[in-house]
Amino acid sequence: MATTTVSVAEICAAAKDASRVLARLDSATRDKALEATAAAIEARAPEILEANARDMEAGTEGGLDAALLDRLKLTEERIAGIARDVRAIVALPDPVGETIEGHRLPNGLDVRKVRVPLGVVAVVYEARPNVTIDCSALCIKSGNAIVLRGSSMAAHSNAALAAIAREAVVSAGLPPASVSIVAGGGRDELREIATQDGLVDLIIPRGGEGLKAALKAHATVPVIYAASGNCHVYVDETADLDDAVAITVNAKVQRPGVCNAAETLLVHSAVAPEFLPRALSALRESGVELRVDGRTRALAGDLAESLNEATEDDWATEFLALVMAVRVVDSVEEAIEHVNRYGSGHSEAIVTGSVPSAQAFTTGVDAACVYVNASTRFTDGAQFGMGAEIGNSTQKLHARGPIGIRELCTFKYVGEGAGQVRS
């Protein structure tokens, strides 16, 4: 397994060579490599769990918070899920070589827009060891080589998983540098990856604002930020209140330490007197700390004493924990204004029985994913039928929302003629 005993430049150069081989390989060979990866993950689960236990012990001793420990933790069930996701990726149609569109020019020249791999994708990530396999599988399926750079908190887990993936793809005939991992060099190493012009075609960071800032300061290669999620649920005046309670609790509680969990609840004033006591009670029973505006507190009844006053910072915070901000608004327009002011452009939801309100929200909210009468927790590559995702983009580039195999491709134009020359 490649590590920083070999220089970052050498790792990236080897990955570039591997990417040229991968781009020419047939779909069956790449799928065979992924099948081998899934089987190896299942067969070597005890080895993976042992490595993860070392990371969990170090994380606990180092004082990692509950959300980070949850992201870090692997179980037999989660490992089985990683293998299932790899097989789901195998089952997807091969995007490489797909004709996106085509037309014939008046001179008879046929022009096709054809999907092709990006080349070398570097993924920089924190805490989640499953990312090692998800991203590797997506890159192999889409004909790309991958350079992985995980965080020190998951060093043992990432090393074990990357080694398993590398050995599996090599056994199927892929170049060894199809999957590489860089580890042990700190921020200097990150800067090196971010400046490998001509070798790295894209960097996707999955982490906090510090990681994003570090890349913005130094990156000379393209970056798609798998950004944070300050997500909202807005309960409209025509909402089914049973659905609204269920959606709110699910969006906040089902897995609070992830980017598609809701952080703020907005409630229309017309339903707030009936809805808020029910919703706040359900959230409190689930262990959620509530930070509320004055109008919410006034309608909270017996719960009022247990509520904290929301600050301006709370509206803009991705808590990644059992904490939720709550505010009463007077219209769908006010809800949209709040979301666009404080949200991160990730995932937003409206619960409503009104088609005009739904249309206003889906049109007016500036986010990668907008839901009507559904939880924000569905923003996920696997849930979207993409097998997994390499991250969730909030940018407005070719990739927005979950980044899957098609988003890991670019395109080229292929012109086929019969001797045409331009006059």
The stretches of 286-317 forming alpha helices (DSSP H) are 294-298, 312-315
Q: What is the pLDDT, as a whole number, of residue 2?
A: 45
Q: Which of the four pLDDT bands, split at 50, 70 and 90, describes residue 391?
A: confident
Q: What is the pLDDT, as a whole number, of residue 148?
A: 96
Q: What is the pLDDT, as a whole number, of residue 213?
A: 83
Contact 178, 72 (CB under 8 A): no
Q: What is the pLDDT, as a whole number, of residue 183?
A: 81
pLDDT digits (tens, 9 = 90+) for 245-272: 999 999 999 999 889 999 999 999 999 9
pLDDT surpassing 70 at residue 154? yes
Mean pLDDT of 44-49: 98
* Higher per-residue pLDDT: 3 or 199: 199
pLDDT surpassing 70 at residue 185? no
**Bridge partner list, 204:** 123
**Rounded to whole angstroms, what are the CA distances from 123 to 133, 138, 338?**
11, 12, 32
Q: What is the pLDDT, as a whole number, of residue 358?
A: 98
**Both tokens of residue 133?**
């396999």
pLDDT surpassing 80 at residue 40? yes
pLDDT surpassing 50 at residue 411? yes
| Across 22-26, 104-108, 389-393, least confident range | 389-393
Share of the chain above pLDDT 70, in %: 98
- Domains observed in the chain: 8-226+390-416 (3.40.605.10), 231-378 (3.40.309.10)
Its pTM surpasses 0.75: yes
pLDDT surpassing 90 at residue 78? yes
End-to-end Cα, the chain, rounded Å: 55
pLDDT surpassing 90 at residue 186? no
Q: Chain centroid to CA 229: how far?
A: 10
The Cα–Cα gap between 125 and 208 comes to: 9
pLDDT surpassing 70 at residue 116? yes
Q: Which of the four pLDDT bands, split at 50, 70 and 90, describes residue 71?
A: confident
Q: What is the pLDDT, as a whole number, of residue 208?
A: 73
Contact 241, 282 (CB under 8 A): no
The stretches of 235-352 forming alpha helices (DSSP H) are 241-253, 272-285, 294-298, 312-315, 332-342
Q: Phi first, then psi: what are they for 206, rounded to 5°?
A: -125, 100
The total of other beta-carbon atoms located within 10 Å of residue 104's CB is 10
Q: Which of the four pLDDT bands, split at 50, 70 and 90, describes residue 184?
A: low
Provide the pairing of β-strand 99-104 with 110-117.
antiparallel
pLDDT surpassing 50 at residue 30? yes
* Higher per-residue pLDDT: 134 or 227: 134
pLDDT surpassing 50 at residue 1? no
The stretches of 62-201 forming alpha helices (DSSP H) are 66-72, 76-90, 130-141, 155-171, 186-194
Nearest to 180 by CA among 142, 140, 214, 207: 140
